[in-house]
């Protein structure tokens, strides 16, 4: 008699509960480590008392180390978008020209904010598949003999496309052109995950957020500012009240804030930076590089394509994956969420329903990375999206050989 496969004793029934831990792998907010959650859970500290002032001064010094700067870093209770606005209104005046490169959706949002604030953005278009066009930026600066352009604004890591631009090359182009514009950089999805050097690259204003590489909930924004940016503040005429840097700097000098700070997020930030420094920032960057390469090898093995088409611009924190024509990235994401309890990032703007985004940043180890890629491969098969098997194996082979 032919053998038969054993029949499960209990047939699966619809369930209102998904077992196991939810896999959150959007490009931010990222998973918050238990150690950071425990720190946030401390009792409120009097933000006007002596203990807070001492704690705050020490924390400011730790934050500067993450930015690799000796200059002030201002912390607003806000998302990164608040720091975008603060960067513009503290340094510029109505009608000022700002040079921006549209490398994706978040670069577009910063452009729209500048326009609404009464600035005159000069926009360099790209195909959303590579980083900032350094030569086009250089050409615009060379042609601006009257120095109408007051700032060059760039997104270091464009979350919507998985593209990282070269800040050092943009700074070199500005220096070669002898142009006095401020250099403003958004590092919201790269800070503490991809190498960034505020002082060495002579960045004037750098924007960061708490909810990505810093492994915190959303609610804190960071603005590292140069002496040149602070000098520009004295003549800037865009209106500002809540976002006024000077009020923050005057109070921060003694460890305090002009209004109620996000005290419990500061507790978490203090511990998060300890964790980063215990691992070593260079090791943190290398870990993100490894996981990004493992992800790309899986994508190639599946026969799919990354949105970023230029290898030197690959992001180490997020990979945007294009689905074949005629298939829905959003349907794939919905299926993976329902069946595997994993959240992936959606396509934004013109990439809506065309890409899904794998976030591989924050407190992430090799086993989690393999789990994420396994969830994607299961989803591709279940949704009937044309692909080759073996993506997870390609990632395993890479990670096993690259400790």
Nearest to 62 by CA among 246, 355, 314, 270: 270
Sheet strands side by side (includes 73-76): 73-76, 221-225, 205-209, 182-186, 149-155, 97-102, 120-125
Q: How far apart are CA 252 and CA 286, in angstroms?
A: 33
- Residues of each annotated binding site: 357
Under DSSP, is residue 11 helix (H, G, I), strand (E, B) or coil? coil
Contact 203, 210 (CB under 8 A): no
Q: How far apart are CA 213 and CA 204, in angstroms?
A: 21
Under DSSP, is residue 362 helix (H, G, I), strand (E, B) or coil? coil
DSSP string for 92-146: --TT-EEEEEE-SHHHHHHHHHHHHTT-EEEEEE--SSS---HHHHHHHHHH-TT
- Residues of each annotated binding site for substrate: 357
Q: How far apart are CA 280 and CA 27, in angstroms?
A: 22
Q: How far apart are CA 351 and CA 158, in angstroms?
A: 13
With b for 16 or more beta-carbon neighbours within 10 A and e for fewer, the 203-215 pattern comes to bbbbbbbbbbbbb
Q: How far apart are CA 388 and CA 331, in angstroms?
A: 19
- Using CA atoms, how far residue 153 sits from 87, 137, 160, in Å, is 10, 10, 17
- Using CA atoms, how far residue 332 sits from 163, 254, 255, in Å, is 22, 52, 48
């Amino acid at each position: 008699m032919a053998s038969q496969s054993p029949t499960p004793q209990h047939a699966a029934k619809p369930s209102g509960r998904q077992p196991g831990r939810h896999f959150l792998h959007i490009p931010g907010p990222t998973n918050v480590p238990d150690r950071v959650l425990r720190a946030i859970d401390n009792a409120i500290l009097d933000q006007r008392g002596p203990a807070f002032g001492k704690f705050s001064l020490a924390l400011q010094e730790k934050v500067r180390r993450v930015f690799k700067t000796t200059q002030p870093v201002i912390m607003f209770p806000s998302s990164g978008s608040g720091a975008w606005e603060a960067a513009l209104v503290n340094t510029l005046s109505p009608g000022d020209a700002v040079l921006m490169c549209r490398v994706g959706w978040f670069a577009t949002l910063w452009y729209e904010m500048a326009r609404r604030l009464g600035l005159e953005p000069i926009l360099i278009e790209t195909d959303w598949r590579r980083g900032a066009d350094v030569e086009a930026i250089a050409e615009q600066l060379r042609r601006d003999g009257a120095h109408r352009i007051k700032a060059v604004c760039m997104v270091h890591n464009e979350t919507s496309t998985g593209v990282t631009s070269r800040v050092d090359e943009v700074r070199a182009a500005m220096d070669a052109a002898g142009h006095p514009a401020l250099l403003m950089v958004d590092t919201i999805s790269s800070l503490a995950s991809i190498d960034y050097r505020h002082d060495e690259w002579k960045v004037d204003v750098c924007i960061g957020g708490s909810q990505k590489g810093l492994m915190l909930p959303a609610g804190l924004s960071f603005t590292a500012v140069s002496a040149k940016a602070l000098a520009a503040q004295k003549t800037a005429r865009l209106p500002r009240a809540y976002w006024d840097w000077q009020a923050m700097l005057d109070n921060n000098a003694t460890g305090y804030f002009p209004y109620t700070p996000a005290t419990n997020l500061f507790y978490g930030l203090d511990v998060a930076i300890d964790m980063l420094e215990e691992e070593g920032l260079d090791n943190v960057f290398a870990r993100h590089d490894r996981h990004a390469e493992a992800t790309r090898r899986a994508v190639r093995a599946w026969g799919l394509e990354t949105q970023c088409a230029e290898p030197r611009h690959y992001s180490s924190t997020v990979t945007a994956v294009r689905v074949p024509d005629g298939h829905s990235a959003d349907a794939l994401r919905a299926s993976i969420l329902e069946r595997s309890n994993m959240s992936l990032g959606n396509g934004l703007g013109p990439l809506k329903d065309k890409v899904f985004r794998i976030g591989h940043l924050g407190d992430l180890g090799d086993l989690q990375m393999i789990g994420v890629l396994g969830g994607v491969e299961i989803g591709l098969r279940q949704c009937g999206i044309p692909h080759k098997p073996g993506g997870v194996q390609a990632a395993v082979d890479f990670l096993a050989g690259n400790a």
